[in-house]
Amino acid sequence: MIFSRIFVAAALFSALSAVPVIAETSAERQTLFQAMLRDPADPDLMLQYARQAVKEQDFEAAVATLERLIDRDPASVEARSELAAAYFALGANEVALYHFKILQGSDALTPDQQRQMARYADEAQDRNAKSSFSGFAQAGFAVLGDNGKVGATASLGLVHRYDPNGPSGTVFITTLRADYLDFGSSSTTGQRSVAFTYGPSLRLAGTQYGPVLRPYLAVRSTNDNKIAFDRDAIGFGVSLEAPLTQSWSTFANLEGGKIRYDASTVDGNYLDGQLGLIWFLGRDASVRSSVISQKVDIADPLIESDFRAARVDIQKRLRPSFASYDWKISGFVQTETESFTSGREDKVKRVGAALQAYISETVYINSEVQYYDRNSNVVGFEKSEPLFSITVGMEF
């Protein structure tokens, strides 16, 4: 069963990697191109054509047009902004940084545009560095809605990028993620987990927005208040992200290896797979849908299981009129089924929403609510529980 799933997933990755990255030239862009041929000196037409090329991820065409426009009008903030973003997309970070710095010195930018250019410039500088760290840390409290019990929650995420050959080459990425949720020894709700991954990120098209293939090593450890679910795993995986058009992107992940449960003291195998689509509703909103499959193959009928799930995530970034910094609104719905060799079958529904309000460029307050509902064919495993949490965090 494990090997048959691997073969299916391998075929899936092969098909995804063959997906064309850039859509065919649209009718709107062709119309703009013909108009430019008739009036090649019209700056408005040149800017419209370049923006359409960016939407279609043809950044080279956008750069060629915008460079001509900048030659004619070096003071054009709109043209230079689009040019800097196009170079940024292509991974030409030094050139992008040059244009971002010119824009930052312009009196024509609004305060919001100045902040946006500063963020772009900082990211371009980080990309241009051979070695860089980023991450977040947050901590706060959580409340169980069914009994009012208050607990502690915290998360830490770190990413290190090592780029020896330039922004369009191979980047080696190390990630570390730790999560903590505890309501005391009297509660069965709570979990401590740590996950580590390391591997190269391969840009198959040589640009920042082309398909990315990432093989990696994974080490994971999870400790639940329910001792039967404490587990350690080590494995190898491969992920693929492949843009389809300016509005759609697909992703897939396959990971497998060895797993050990403390309750069983028997080693087993695991295989996780995920396949999904992302729909970008402009620059500040997205909908992400995915199907998930997990298989644990171990000589213990209480643990050996087959897990299947479907999930939808939404995210929107906005700035309320009364706020000085952006806010993020997100939500998710997930339905899942887990079947055990012992005959037990659990059906779970999860739903959640979060509001992340920034009080500075990097500091935020995150408010989150989740609801968990599990039905089981075995008495005693049913559970319904709302969870509320508030955390204060910082990105770096």
| Residues 174 and 245 reside in one and the same domain | yes
**Residue 4: inside a domain, yes or no?**
no
| Residues 100 and 146 reside in one and the same domain | no
Tens digits of per-residue pLDDT, 266-290? 789 999 999 999 999 877 899 999 9
**Residue 89: inside a domain, yes or no?**
yes
Q: 94: domain CATH number?
A: 1.25.40.10
| pLDDT band at residue 20 under the 50/70/90 scheme | very low
**Residue 19: inside a domain, yes or no?**
no
Tens digits of per-residue pLDDT, 85-129? 888 777 777 788 788 778 877 776 666 666 666 776 677 666 667
| Residues 145 and 190 reside in one and the same domain | yes
| Residues 65 and 193 reside in one and the same domain | no
Of 249, 250, 253, 207, residue with least CA distance to 96? 207
Residue 296 pLDDT: 93
**Residue 52: inside a domain, yes or no?**
yes
Q: 273: domain CATH number?
A: 2.40.160.10
**Residue 11: inside a domain, yes or no?**
no
Residue 31 pLDDT: 87
**Residue 14: inside a domain, yes or no?**
no
Determine phi and psi for 203, rounding to 5 degrees. Answer: -85, 105
Final residue in a domain of this structure, among 97, 127, 157: 127
Does residue 19 surpass a pLDDT of 80? no
| Residues 367 and 253 reside in one and the same domain | yes
CA distance 131 to 381: 48
Q: How many domains does the chain have?
A: 2
| Residues 218 and 139 reside in one and the same domain | yes
Residues of the chain above pLDDT 90, percent: 45
What is the CA 356 to chain-centroid distance, rounded? 16
**Residue 2: inside a domain, yes or no?**
no
Tens digits of per-residue pLDDT, 192-237? 999 999 999 988 876 666 789 999 999 999 988 665 578 899 999 9
Residue 350 CB contacts under 8 Å (≥ 6 apart), including other chains: 332, 333, 334, 335, 336, 370, 371, 372, 373
Residue 189 CB contacts under 8 Å (≥ 6 apart), including other chains: 144, 151, 181, 183, 225, 385, 387
| Residues 135 and 192 reside in one and the same domain | yes
Residue 17 CB contacts under 8 Å (≥ 6 apart), including other chains: 204, 211, 213, 240, 242
| Residues 266 and 160 reside in one and the same domain | yes
CA distance 49 to 66: 9
| Residues 189 and 118 reside in one and the same domain | no
pTM of the model: 0.74
| Residues 38 and 112 reside in one and the same domain | yes
| Residues 58 and 143 reside in one and the same domain | no
Evaluate whether 82 touches 62 at the Cβ level (below 8 Å).
Answer: yes
Residue 73 CB contacts under 8 Å (≥ 6 apart), including other chains: 43, 79
Which structural domain range is residue 113 located in? Answer: 27-127
| Residues 181 and 91 reside in one and the same domain | no
Residue 151 pLDDT: 93
Final residue in a domain of this structure, among 79, 103, 127: 127
What is the CA 303 to chain-centroid distance, rounded? 30
Evaluate whether 312 touches 333 at the Cβ level (below 8 Å).
Answer: yes
CA distance 30 to 259: 55
Q: Across all residues in the chain, what is the average pLDDT? A: 85
Beta bridge pairs of residue 242: 250
